[in-house]
C-alpha cells in the first residue's frame, strides 16, 4: 500500500524549530511535502494574496527525501499552492500545520496563521490538524510532544474526520508538570483586551505597538484553557462555517423582515 500523502505548512516560517519537529514526526507516517512561508506570518489569520505576486521556490532545508518549498505567501496561500500547484491535484490524505511557537487556544484560533493553514486544508476537503506548543520561545523545547502528535495524527489517518473539520491541538510547555493526557474540548470564552502603546521613533514621529492582556471569562472545566492550565493536551474540533445557527431563529422571530 502507498504511504499517505501529508502536506505540511505553518505560520512561523520554513526555518522554525516547530516545523522541523513536525516534518521529523510526519516522515515516520507518510510521504511529506512542505509548503511554508519564507518568513514569520504569525497573526495573519486566513489572509490570502489577491493583489500581489506569489513566489514559490524549492528548498533542501529538511534534507533528502522531503520535497519542500518556501513561499512569499500567507499560510493559507501555502496550502492552496501546495495542493493545486506543487501536488497538481494529487489526493492529499492529511494537511498538518505547525508546530506553532505559542498557544492557539480560545479566540486565538481566529487570528492564527497556523490554524488558518489547517482550516484551509479542511476547506479543500482534506482532514487537517493544527498543532501548537504553549511556549513562545524561538528555541522552545519540543522534546515531549512526539507521543501526542503521533497518536492524534494516527487516529486521523486511520479513522478520518468529518468533512469540513480541522482539529486545533495545543500542548502544554515542558516547564509545566508532566502532561496528564489528552482532552477533547470546546473553545474557551476568552479574549485579548488590547491597548496601543504610543511610542516615538528616532525621527520624532509617533508609532503604536499593540499590547494587552488575555482575559478568560470561562469558568468551565471542558474548555481548552482549562485543559492547558491543568496540563492536558487540548483538542478542539473546528469548522469554517461561521453561521450562528441560533441567530437564524432569533432574526426570524424578533425582526420584521
Give tens-digit pLDDT for 165-210: 999 999 999 876 789 999 999 999 999 888 899 999 999 999 999 8
Q: Residue 71 forms beta bridges with which residues?
A: 37, 56
Burial (CB count <10 Å: 0-12, 13-18, 19+), residue 190 = middle
Domains with residue ranges and CATH for the chain? 5-189+220-254 (3.40.1210.10)
Percentage, residues of the chain above pLDDT 70: 99
3-class secondary-structure state, position 17: helix
State the average pLDDT over residues 29-42.
Answer: 94
Residue 103 C-alpha cell reads as 498557544
**Looking at residue 104, what is its pLDDT?**
95
**Looking at residue 176, what is its pLDDT?**
62
Q: Is the pLDDT of residue 2 over 70?
A: yes
Under the banding of pLDDT at 50, 70 and 90, the label for residue 1 is low
State the average pLDDT over residues 40-62.
Answer: 92
Its pTM stands at: 0.92
Average model confidence (pLDDT) across the chain:
94
**Looking at residue 152, what is its pLDDT?**
98
Cβ proximity of 33 and 82 under 8 Å: yes
**Looking at residue 251, what is its pLDDT?**
95
State the average pLDDT over residues 211-234.
Answer: 93
**Looking at residue 65, what is its pLDDT?**
86
Angle 146-159/17-26 helices, nearest 10 degrees?
Answer: 50
Phi, psi of 159 (to 5 degrees): -115, -10
Q: What is the pLDDT of residues 64-94, one digit of tens each?
A: 889 999 999 999 999 999 999 999 979 999 9
**Looking at residue 177, what is its pLDDT?**
72
What DSSP state is assigned to residue 83?
Answer: I
**Torsion region of 153: left, alpha or beta (phi above 0 gives left; psi -120 to 50 gives alpha):** alpha
Under the banding of pLDDT at 50, 70 and 90, the label for residue 41 is confident
Q: Is the pLDDT of residue 122 over 80?
A: yes
Amino acid at each position: 500500500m502507498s504511504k499517505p500523502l501529508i502536506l505540511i505548512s505553518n505560520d512561523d516560517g520554513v526555518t522554525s524549530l516547530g516545523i522541523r519537529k513536525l516534518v521529523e514526526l510526519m516522515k515516520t507516517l507518510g510521504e511529506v511535502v512542505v509548503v511554508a512561508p519564507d518568513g514569520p506570518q504569525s497573526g495573519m489569520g486566513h489572509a490570502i494574496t489577491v493583489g500581489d505576486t506569489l513566489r514559490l521556490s524549492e528548498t533542501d532545508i529538511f534534507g533528502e527525501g522531503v520535497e519542500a518549498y518556501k513561499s512569499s505567501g500567507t499560510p493559507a496561500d501555502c496550502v492552496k499552492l501546495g495542493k493545486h500547484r506543487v501536488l497538481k491535484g494529487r489526493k492529499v490524505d492529511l494537511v498538518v500545520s505547525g508546530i506553532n511557537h505559542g498557544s492557539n487556544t480560545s479566540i486565538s484560533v481566529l487570528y492564527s496563521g497556523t490554524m488558518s493553514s489547517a482550516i484551509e486544508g479542511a476547506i479543500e476537503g482534506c482532514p487537517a490538524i493544527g498543532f501548537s506548543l504553549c511556549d513562545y520561545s524561538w528555541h522552545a523545547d519540543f522534546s515531549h510532544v512526539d507521543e501526542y502528535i503521533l497518536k492524534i495524527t494516527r487516529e486521523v489517518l486511520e479513522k478520518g474526520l468529518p468533512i469540513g473539520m480541522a482539529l486545533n491541538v495545543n500542548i502544554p510547555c515542558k516547564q509545566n508538570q508532566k502532561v496528564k493526557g489528552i482532552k477533547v474540548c470546546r473553545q474557551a470564552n476568552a479574549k485579548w483586551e488590547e491597548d496601543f502603546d504610543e511610542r516615538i521613533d528616532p525621527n520624532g514621529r509617533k508609532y503604536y505597538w499593540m499590547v494587552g492582556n488575555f482575559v478568560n471569562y470561562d469558568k468551565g472545566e471542558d474548555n481548552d484553557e482549562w485543559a492547558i492550565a491543568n496540563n492536558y493536551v487540548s483538542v478542539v474540533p473546528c469548522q469554517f462555517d461561521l453561521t450562528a445557527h441560533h441567530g437564524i431563529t432569533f432574526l426570524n422571530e424578533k425582526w420584521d423582515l
